[in-house]
Every structure is written in structure tokens, then in C-alpha cells.
Amino acid sequence: MTNEYILHFIEYELQAIALMWMAVLYTIKIVQLSRLPISWERGEKKGNPTRGVLRSYGTIFMPWSMESSKTHLWRWAEFGLYHIGALVAIFNTFTFPFAPAMMTPFVRVLFAVLIAPAFVVGILKLIRRIGKQELRIISTPDDYFSLVSLQFFFFFGIMALLVGTPSWRMAYFLITAGFLFYVPFSKISHYIYFFFSRYLTGKRYGWRGVIPRLESKS
């Protein structure tokens, strides 16, 4: 079995299996969640629930809208850099095998430059999680494992982009597959719940005229 064959298997077949696995588990999760009862707002509407939902989804892009981000702008910037890096690293797992022509030296460097800050932020996050008591007492093995795994994901991603040898690519795609198998079980799956949570909260606050706030009578 050649390295080329193994790399091909890891980049295509293994990724496809892992993606299907993740899709099936997420579907089950979403169905389970959707089947839970919910009491929608029924009091006379004061605000605008649609605007509430849009604003709720947009909150994370508006650091001034939450005190937790307004007063800690650097933390918010870290959050942005980390998620941009993660998105690029995920996107990269598709462009490598499916759009090789797109992966010019410039694009490779650009992607690596976008992932690198996420790697640095990951280290800071890890230091904070260990060093700050209020984070340490709520941290579980899953928290540390997820954080460290992502560091490897970013690191192998950067190396696969900049060095690009089959062994770095293999490492990158192996950890990607491992991720896809693990993510539905871990806190990394927060991004699935995020859409439910932000929708439900935004709808309630919008309905009641809390967010966006009604400055004048309609």
C-alpha cells in the first residue's frame, strides 16, 4: 500500500465516512431537541420577534451589545480570531482534496496566516483555563481535550499548508477525521445548539420588546 493511496483514502473515503457519521448524529440530536415541548410567547406582542432573532444571531458580531464583550474587547477579538481560524481550518479540509487548483502558494500562506492566530489564542485559552480559578473549577476533561485537540488541528493545518508533504497532510486529515467522529459528543458541538438557543432567546426578547429595545412607542 503506497503512501499516495493511504493519503487518498484519508482525504476522501475516511473524511466522507466521518462526515456522514457526524451528519447522522447531528440529525438525531436535532430531532431529539425539536421534539421537546416548548411554550411560545402568547402575551400580547410588544416588540418584534423577527428583529429579536436577527439581533440575537448578530449579537456576537456587535461587541458593544454585551457588557461581557464591550468591557473585554481583547477577549472578544480573541474569540473572533479563534473562530475565523477554526472556520478556515475546516474549509481547508475541503479545498485540499476537492479544489486543489485553488490552493496556490498565495492561498496556502493566506490560510496559514488566518489559522496561526487561532493557534496562539488557543494557547492563551489553555493558560487561562488552567490559571484562572473561576475557569478551572468548571473545566472538565472534555474541555481540556477539546482545546488541545484543536491546537493539534490548527498546527497540522498550518504545517500541511506551508510544508505540504504527504505526512503533514496525513496528520492533518487524520486529526480532522478524529474530530468529526468526536465532535458530536463533545462541547465543540455548541455551534449546533447555538442556533436553537439564539433563536429561542431572540424570539422571546424580541416579542417582549427587550431586544432590540423599543425607544419610542410603535
Residues of span 70-109 touching another protein by CB under 8 A: 71-72, 75, 79
# residues contacting another protein (CB under 8 A): 62
Kindly state the smallest distance separating residue 93's Cβ from another protein, in Å: 22
User: Residue 31 interacts with another protein (CB under 8 A)?
Assistant: no
Of 60, 77, 107, 120, which lies in the binding site for another protein, with binding defined by CB under 8 A?
Answer: 60
Choose which of 74, 106, 141, 218 interacts with another protein (CB under 8 A).
141
Shortest Cβ 158–another protein spacing (Å): 23
* CB-side neighbour CA atoms (13 Å) of 47: 21
Any alpha helices (H) in the chain, and if so which ranges?
A: 3-8, 15-34, 49-58, 67-70, 73-98, 105-131, 133-136, 141-162, 166-182, 190-208
Instruction: For residue 77, give the 3-state DSSP assignment.
Output: helix
Cα separation, 59 vs 198, in Å, equals 9
- Least CB distance to another protein at residue 11 (A): 27
Over the window 195 to 214, marking each residue x when it contacts another protein by CB under 8 A and - when it does not, the resulting string is -xxx-xxx-----xxxx-xx
Nearest to 11 by CA among 103, 92, 109: 92
Show the CA angle centred on residue 97, arms to residues 156 and 148, nearest 5°: 25
| Nearer to another protein among residue 135 and residue 163 (C-beta) | 135
Calpha distance 204→217 (Å, rounded): 19
Residues near another protein (CB under 8 A) are 32-34, 36-44, 46-47, 56, 59-60, 66-69, 71-72, 75, 79, 129, 132-135, 137-143, 145, 184-190, 193-194, 196-198, 200-202, 208-211, 213-217
